[in-house]
Structure 1
Amino acid sequence: MDFSRLQTSSKIGDDWVYPEAEARRSGWLTVDSDPEHRVYWEDYGNPAGEPVMVLHGGPGGACSPAMARYFDPARYRIILFDQRGCGKSEPNVATAGPAAALARNTTADLIGDIEKLRDHLGIAGRMHVFGGSWGSTLSMAYAIAHPDHCANLILRGIFLGAAEDLLYLYQGNAATWHEDPFGLTAPGAYIHYPDEWRALLEVLSVEERRDVMRSYKAIFDMVPATAEEKERQLAAAVTWSLWEGTISNLIPEAGDTGKFGEAGFALCFAQIEAHYFAHDLFLEPGHFFRHIDTLVAIPVHIVHGRFDEVCPLTQASRLVAALRGAGAEPATYVVTNAGHSAMERENALALTAIMDGLPPLAA
């Protein structure tokens, strides 16, 4: 049988509008002390252009140069930075350990870091705030705290972080999986990715599967006393990372796990996510809906994949309904034939089109 004509990837590949470029400047900014945190940043594009603050996903996902490719480099000044504990920021979970890297690592701290980075880079007026997945969460939280600094919110893969959203992603049928691995006993991403779900659950005992997130968090919090415990902790981090990385694509990249299978990235990604999830993202329940009047005063542009299994479309639907209930349509609302990843072709092209079509910022 000839399967050569089947689509093997849903990523954007060679269809980017703008080429990958090198940062004009980069560096570290000390944003906190006791313990000290230094965030790594990069500056792309036109130094006199409209500023765009790019907020990566995860939390713990870090940035890459490809994230500057959604923007016309002649028009925009593009700021990428690695949030506390991950990427090139210091201390890093993978190298310094969670005790140091997760100390003073909350949503409020990250919002403060954005303000300090603005000041450090000389951004005095309004800027575009661009974020996907957890980056959409942080973008909205930042906008609520500092609405006067936001010209537009460009959000992809809306993540509201409610308990039901996390249960869909991490709990599903886990509690009864040992009895019936293919039983559809609860909604969840496992329905579409049974092999990847098996890998996530096989790290845990039957008892531990009653609460998958809490059990993984316990493994991550463990201070390994033996080589076996250290090996289990690393295997758990990589498995957690691969679960989300794989299901982020409409067509899973089975032959290329990318950064999600790398030990250093996985340790940061998994442990920072578990830290934030265990603390309800360090936000009060319903935070965005209680402050919807602040968000409606800012143009909100939304791109969401119809087949997103990390952050199902219902999360964008809830946000759009809240905006409309407060009297404002989203400035843009595009539902793509894609999954979760910003590197999915349809998502990437939609985001680029939004940035190309924004009205110029007044000087």
Structure 2
Amino acid sequence: MTDEDWKYPQQPYRKNGWLQVDDNPPLKSPHKIYYEEYGNPDGEPVMFLHGGPGGTCTPNFSRFFDPERYRIILFDQRGCGKSVPNVAKDGAQAGLANNETSYLVDDIAKLRNHLEIKSKMHVFGGSWGSILAQAYAIKYPETVQTLILRGIWQATKQDLDYMYQGNAETYHKGPYNVTVPGSYLFYPEEWKEYVEIIPQNRRKDMIKAYKEIFDMVPRTPEQQETKRKALVAWSKWEEVISNIVPNTKNVGKYGSDEFATSFAQIENHYFTNNMFMENHYLIKNVERIKDIPIHIVHGRFDQVCPMYQADILVDALRNVGTEPASYVRTTAGHSALELENAMVLTNIMDNLPKMDHSKLPGTKVTGADATQSY
């Protein structure tokens, strides 16, 4: 997307702040999530959930929505962006403490209450944000008007292996052995860089091998450089494969030490803990969201979240007797900022049935229960 491609011009945020969502015991630095509001303060509320885990929001994300119609809320999830403590600035111990799916779900509810949203709201999430949006809707369905989901992710071992494992274990024997499925098939130069960070004898489980480096406390400059390179390699790999035509010479913030330190460690923290969710939790609980209109946008050439993952969700909805409100397969890759994805998402938001939010009853939720099994 270029500036001219967007339907709506970039506007400054109307309001911003930090909301304390957790005391973060036994640490002394409580979690405070950073948020921004754009658009019409009296408009239909839409909650934007960024990807990752460990990504951040940027002002561009507000441009999917008509600022005259919508009250647009962006926020950085725990440990990343402008939220504090930040994994990169304050350390993994602080940033990853109490950083699990159940906490993030309840953070949405707490932010909703803090902003005094009395009606239902549209919930818009892509990639990891699509998981978080569904998990929130499963727990708090009475607060959700519409789900708009892009780049559906199931985050099973199969899905993680496709993206992060591929042919890594046998790469040294034959990098062009393509009998194992994976994103690597489409990005061979970048895959080489990602794989060769890890010693040959530790490539059986790439996510685990990267975690060992991320968890290392460097004692020498050489160890510090090894860790830095690993963090950046992980971050760059995801950014490159998010675009059908990657800009390999400029991966932006994904190549910066600060962003990569936060992004890579938060993602790895979730991946090595099964996303802090019961296996197939979203699919098993899809009946709880069957009455919510669900719009799905998925790039046909997505190599972060291959399209079969969206089909799994559609099949699950049909199995409980409902259809998605729309399911659009674009000729694009993963990123929400690829032109066709962005245009379709904007069009969906422009054409949602208008919500008479001023007359809806209050639906305050506590947002305090972080003990639910996910």
Q: Give me the TM-score of the superposition, normalised by structure 1.
A: 0.96
Name the structure 2 match of 1:5.
none
Q: Residue 69 of structure 1: SS of its match in structure 2?
A: helix
The partner residue of 1:48 within 42, 45, 68 is 42
Name the structure 1 match of 2:9.
19
Query: What is the CA distance between 1:13 and its match in structure 2?
Result: 5.2
Provide, for residues 124-147 of structure 1, a one-character-per-residue CA deviation record: whole Å limited to 9, x for no partner.
220000000000000000000100
Query: Identity over the aligned pairs, expressed in percent?
Result: 54
Provide, for residues 320-350 of structure 1, a one-character-per-residue CA deviation record: whole Å limited to 9, x for no partner.
1111111111001000000000000000000
Provide, for residues 169-213 of structure 1, a one-character-per-residue CA deviation record: whole Å limited to 9, x for no partner.
000100000000011121000000000100001100011111100
CA distance in 2, matches of 1:95, 1:15: 35
Q: Residue 200 of structure 1: SS of its match in structure 2?
A: helix
Query: What is the CA distance between 1:228 and its match in structure 2?
Result: 1.4
CA distance in 2, matches of 1:228, 1:75: 54
CA distance in 1, matches of 2:300, 2:3: 20
Query: What is the CA distance between 1:163 and its match in structure 2?
Result: 0.8
Structure 1: 5+ residue runs without aligned partners?
A: 1-10
Name the structure 2 match of 1:275.
269
1:167 aligns with 2:199: no
Task: For 1:63-142, list aligned pairs within 5 A.
Answer: 63-142=57-136
Q: Residue 152 of structure 1: SS of its match in structure 2?
A: strand
CA distance in 1, matches of 2:269, 2:4: 36
1:235 aligns with 2:243: no
Q: Contact (CA 8 Å) 1:128, 1:152: kept in 2 or not?
A: yes
Name the structure 2 match of 1:188.
182
Provide, for residues 205-254 of structure 1, a one-character-per-residue CA deviation record: whole Å limited to 9, x for no partner.
01111110000011111111122111111111110000000110010012
1:284 aligns with 2:278: yes
Task: For 1:259-274, list aligned pairs within 5 A.
Answer: 259-274=253-268
1:62 aligns with 2:56: yes
CA distance in 1, matches of 2:158, 2:3: 33
Q: Contact (CA 8 Å) 1:12, 1:348: kept in 2 or not?
A: no
Name the structure 2 match of 1:6.
none
Where do 4+ consecutive residues of structure 1 move more than 3 Å?
Answer: none
Q: Residue 14 of structure 1: SS of its match in structure 2?
A: helix
Q: Residue 39 of structure 1: SS of its match in structure 2?
A: strand
Name the structure 2 match of 1:201.
195
CA RMSD in angstroms comes to 0.9
Number of positions where the alignment pairs a residue of Structure 1 with one of Structure 2: 353
Provide, for residues 251-274 of structure 1, a one-character-per-residue CA deviation record: whole Å limited to 9, x for no partner.
001232111111111111100000
Query: What is the CA distance between 1:14 and its match in structure 2?
Result: 2.3
Name the structure 2 match of 1:28.
18
Amino acid at match of 1:348: A
CA distance in 2, matches of 1:306, 1:189: 13
Query: What is the CA distance between 1:12 and its match in structure 2?
Result: 5.1
Q: Give me the TM-score of the superposition, normalised by structure 2.
A: 0.93
CA distance in 2, matches of 1:112, 1:226: 40
CA distance in 2, matches of 1:231, 1:48: 50
